[in-house]
Amino acid sequence: MTDTRKGKIVIKTFGVASKSRHDAVYLVTGDEEFVLRQKGTNPFTDNPLAKLEGREVEVTGRISDYIFWVEKWKEVNDE
């Protein structure tokens, strides 16, 4: 099932107390927070969505627990 959410892109530390600790790209909505990943990318390397840090976006894809697997995205302009 495909989901769509709007929110702000932020970068913060994931897995603070683990060997998986790394900076991750998050989508923060009013009451939800997801790690954003694109299929086929390495979560420990540069995420192409990181360039959108601080911007409002709408993402579409699949949600699996705390991960939002992004299929497409667009920047949202508040007019």
pTM of the predicted protein model: 0.84
Instruction: Calculate the CA 46 to chain-centre distance.
Output: 13
**Residue ranges per domain, the chain?**
3-75
Q: What is the pLDDT along the chain (79 residues), one digit of tens a residue?
A: 899 999 999 999 877 777 777 788 999 998 999 999 987 777 667 788 999 999 999 999 999 999 999 999 999 986 5
Q: CA 53 to CA 57: how far, in whole Å?
A: 10
CATH class of the structural domain 3-75: mainly beta
SS (H, E, C) the chain: CCEEEEEEEEEEEECCCCCCCEEEEEEECCCCEEEEEECCCCCCCCCHHHHHCCCEEEEEEEEECCEEEEEEEEECCCC
